[in-house]
Amino acid sequence: MGRTMGDLGMVWNTRKRILLATVALTIVAACSEREIILPGKREPVSAVLTADTAEAEALTEAARDIALPPQVANTDAAQSFGTPAFRTDHPQLGQTLTPIWSVDIGAGDSRKHRIVADPVVSGGRVFTLDAETTVTAVSTSGQVLWQRDILTDRANSGEGTGGGLAVDGNVLFVSSGLGTLTALDVETGGTIWEQELEAIGVGRPTAFENLVYVMAGDDTGWALEKDSGRIAWQVSSSETRTNVLGGPAPIVTDGLAVFSFGSGEMQAVFRQGGLRRWDASVLGERQGRALAKVDDVTGRPIAKDGVIYAGNQSGRTVAVNAGSGAPIWTSAEGAIDTVLPVAGSVFLISDRNELVRLNAEDGTRVWGTRLPNFVKDRPLRQSEVFAHHGPVLAGGRLLVASSDETLRSFDPVSGGLTGRTEIPGGATTAPVVAGQTLYVVSRKGQLLAYR
């Protein structure tokens, strides 16, 4: 028998009441359940990009101890320490650092110019290159000995920026962003010779025995005779349009010279004749970051115990066999400054502004300590980041000099922050240690000494 409209309405109302009662019971039951709170510290997903304090993260066996090499009272730091012959693995340095003097060295950082040359120390003198083309020699007691502008006759003031320094005996070799390599007398600053390298943007030089090695234009490696500046040979790489100011110094090991190019390639050649021995690459990128499109080898290559370590700011660090170029491991951590292998570990400042410790055997991450990242932390202002330089090992701790006006000390075992020292104006170079004194150049164009 069919139902009337009234019957259907009563059925619908009954079902509606049952449905509402069921929903109400569900809500009450849900409210009565205890919220499960997971253990651990709460942080936003973007914390790794926005952290503004140094904080160590225990990631993999952070408590594992390491045996640091003994401290050595070195007197000089004359060249880039990627080459073993110029490196002191663990210089002596006091535990408490106090500023002892500062000296103006010329032009500081500006919108168009940057200081990229680390200071070098030799024979009781500290040598610097400002953001343009002025070279300064300062005594280790803080007196300016001489100052010299290496601007060429065909260039205008302010056109050149970048370059590097290396001392060998009584000669200071100076590369400039104008595409020149100049040899100066360390005592007077007088010119011994000058060579045009037919390219802008010349990296840091390396002087070893009878030759000086340097990279120009991010795609050409040069070898020049040390006493005359005459070109001995040159090698080349693929061209690239995305380069970083200031190329790393070539390294010399076991009869080979190793160049690092803007394309991400490393090329080893026989030191005397320039004949190619092997090629390797620092390739790979961290997805989602604009910097990952820049292929430059920015983690300065360093040779140690038959292995060459190097990194880029795109998100990769590699270890290759120094004799053959065969890959040993690749880490998904970029390196924006020094790659420092010591005591079975590799320390570096990553592309995410972390001080990172890797296992030297396989490249696995041991710990990471966050460094200040964005200058302005508000979401719509996160464009400029702080620059961090280093790390170096001295006095039993790792040292990082930063543009936020702070020199930080870290425990190499755990990555914990152990001390801070002010750098007026902020650092623009890596710290250099010699004679139990730390030297760093500020963004204002001052050489600062701490002891």
Mean pLDDT of 352-356: 94
Quote the pLDDT of residue 34. Answer: 56
For residue 282, pLDDT over 80 is answered with: yes
Quote the pLDDT of residue 367. Answer: 96
Residue 21 lies in a domain: no
For residue 212, pLDDT over 90 is answered with: yes
Mean pLDDT of 171-179: 92
Cis peptide before 391 (omega within 30 of 0): yes
Residue 44 lies in a domain: no
| Percentage with pLDDT > 70 across the chain | 78
Quote the pLDDT of residue 292. Answer: 52
Beta bridge partners of 348: 339, 356
Residue 196 lies in a domain: yes
Task: Answer yes or no: are the C-beta atoms of 271 and 311 closer than 8 Å.
Answer: no
Quote the pLDDT of residue 416. Answer: 96
- Cα dihedral sign, 261-237-159-224: positive
Residue 30 lies in a domain: no
pLDDT category of residue 339 using cuts at 50, 70 and 90: very high
Residue 203 lies in a domain: yes
Mean pLDDT of 355-377: 90
Rounded Cα gap, residues 97 and 187, in angstroms: 29
Mean pLDDT of 74-94: 96
Task: Kindly report, residue by residue over 100-142, the tens digit of the pLDDT.
Answer: 999 999 999 998 889 999 999 999 999 999 999 999 999 999 9
pLDDT category of residue 288 using cuts at 50, 70 and 90: low
Could you tell me the two tokens for 122?
């030799």
Task: Answer yes or no: are the C-beta atoms of 225 and 272 closer than 8 Å.
Answer: no
Residue 395 lies in a domain: yes
Domain that holds residue 186: 54-450
Residue 24 lies in a domain: no
| Percentage with pLDDT > 90 across the chain | 63
In this structure, of 15-24, 175-184, 237-246, 348-357, the range with the lowest mean pLDDT score is 15-24
CATH code for position 218:
2.130.10.10
Question: For the chain, what is the domain count?
Answer: 1
Query: Which 3-state string (H, E, C) describes 191-229?
Result: EEEEEECCCCCECCCEEECCEEEEEECCCEEEEEECCCC
Residue 45 lies in a domain: no
| Greater model confidence, 289 or 207 | 207
Quote the pLDDT of residue 62. Answer: 46
Closest C-alpha among 179, 274, 185 to residue 227: 185
Task: Kindly report, residue by residue over 57-78, the tens digit of the pLDDT.
Answer: 444 444 467 999 999 999 999 9
pLDDT category of residue 381 using cuts at 50, 70 and 90: low
Could you tell me the two tokens for 395?
């006095």
| Greater model confidence, 54 or 167 | 167
Most confident of 158-172, 229-243, 380-394: 158-172
Quote the pLDDT of residue 295. Answer: 62
Rounded Cα gap, residues 412 and 62, in angstroms: 10
Mean pLDDT of 375-400: 81
Closest C-alpha among 72, 169, 175, 183 to residue 122: 169
List Cα–Cα distances, 63 to 31, 56, 370, 404, in angstroms.
43, 12, 18, 29
